[in-house]
Amino acid sequence: MKIEVITLHGVWNYGSVLQALATQYFFEQLGYTVEFINYKRNDFRSIGNYLCYTCKDDLFLKSILKSLVLLPTVIHWKRMFGIFCTRNLNISKREYITNADFYDHTPQADIYCTGSDQVWNSTLNSGTLPHFFLDFVPEGKKRISFSSSFGKELLDDWEIDEVRRLLNRYDYITCRESSGVNICHSLGLKQVHRILDPTLLLSSKYWKKFVHSRPVKQKYLLVYQLHKEEGMDDYLKEIAYRCQLKIVRVCYRYDEIRKQGYPLLIPTIDKLLSAIYYASLVVTDSFHVTAFSTNFQKDFISVIPAQQFGGRIYDLLTLTGLKARAICQFDDFSPLDNVIDWQYVERVYDMERKTTTRFFEKMLKDKQ
């Protein structure tokens, strides 16, 4: 049987492609054939589109300068993530561009699935995109979601009725965060379940096949920073001093090479996972780097972003009993004194993986 998945595999970032790979492997282990619908959001359809979208709120001269700075990075992203997806993901040959394409050339499958990541985030998607809600799927076909995310705590008023209409057509819904389950409940949807991010549904044994050499010989503190946070550099310097560690920083843009620490310049997927695996300590404000740190059982500190993006990190840390590893201010060094009970964390993950596997084994075979 075939499952057709629509997700954010075409977004040029590490978490998006890794969750897509994990989704594919999860369903294949259950005996299903998996194909990703070859759809990319308009802002990721070309380098020009991405630069226009990224710089759209800037003044003209600033947007030109910003585009020139970003251009080498975006070219590298497009090539690197494109190669990874081509080699590792089963993607449909047909490309879907407009919403009409989904109706005119609906891919054939037994089951249709909205994948993980922030597929239902109307802010990132610049609106409610019907195809991410499987609006194109013919009547009588099974619709499911797999660890899908709204990327926020509450829906905006303008989208509530439309999202309720679209989600009411699903046979089964699973969300990545508790906030997503709460949103669905507020819409009157009752049979909604929270499950782990797909990358965590696979044990470290699977991910270790991507691990190769150490980035540096010395013991090091790995930094993966997405958001600008005043005080972060001083905090890292103090942590490195206290722990006697070299600072190694993931620079996911060329212009970040000037930042503090030994630069890992736009590492491949393998090099990023290797850097997390061999680190003595990881400091990050990224959800997926936090997730991989826990999966590889690495000491870590999660910096909860001042913006709206911290909820998913806190949700994961609450589930695993690791809230003591989170900080909101850069005068908090208490995580260094917190000893992680990795046996407890692994028990939680093992239980979640078994429960999710049993749920999907039964649900995918259920008749509508």
Q: What's 120's domain CATH number?
A: 3.40.50
Q: Is residue 245 part of a domain?
A: yes
User: CB–CB of 228/285 below 8 Å?
Assistant: no
Q: What pLDDT shows up at residue 53?
A: 60
Q: Is residue 345 part of a domain?
A: no
Residue 284 host element (H or E): strand 281-284
User: CB–CB of 38/48 below 8 Å?
Assistant: no
The verdict on 359 and 303 lying in the same domain is no
Average pLDDT over residues 133-160: 95
Q: What pLDDT shows up at residue 40?
A: 78
The verdict on 185 and 47 lying in the same domain is yes
Q: Is residue 342 part of a domain?
A: no
pLDDT top residue among 3 and 70: 3
The verdict on 255 and 198 lying in the same domain is no
> What is the average pLDDT score of the chain?
92
The pTM of this model reads 0.93
Q: What pLDDT shows up at residue 73?
A: 86
How many CB atoms sit inside 10 A of residue 101's CB?
16
The verdict on 156 and 240 lying in the same domain is no
Average pLDDT over residues 12-40: 95
C-alpha closest to that of 364 among 29, 68, 13, 30: 30
CATH number at residue 243: 3.40.50.2000
The verdict on 126 and 156 lying in the same domain is yes
CA gap 233, 304 in Å, rounded: 15
pLDDT tens for residues 306-355? Answer: 655 577 898 999 999 999 999 999 999 999 999 999 999 999 999 999 99
The verdict on 96 and 116 lying in the same domain is yes
Q: What is the DSSP string of 137-206?
A: SPTTSEEEESSB--SSSS--GGGHHHHHHHHTT-SBEEESSHHHHHHHHHTT---EEE---HHHHS-HHH
Q: Is residue 248 part of a domain?
A: yes
The verdict on 252 and 188 lying in the same domain is no
The verdict on 219 and 197 lying in the same domain is no
pLDDT tens for residues 249-301? Answer: 999 989 888 888 999 999 999 999 999 999 999 999 999 999 999 999 999 99
pLDDT tens for residues 71-109? Answer: 888 888 889 999 999 999 999 999 998 889 999 999 999
The verdict on 195 and 95 lying in the same domain is yes
Say how many domains are in the chain.
2
Q: Is residue 60 scored above 90 in pLDDT?
A: no
Phi/psi of residue 237, each to 5°? -60, -40
Residue 254 sits in which domain range? Answer: 211-337
The verdict on 309 and 190 lying in the same domain is no
Q: What pLDDT shows up at residue 215?
A: 94
DSSP 8-state secondary structure symbol assigned to residue 8: S
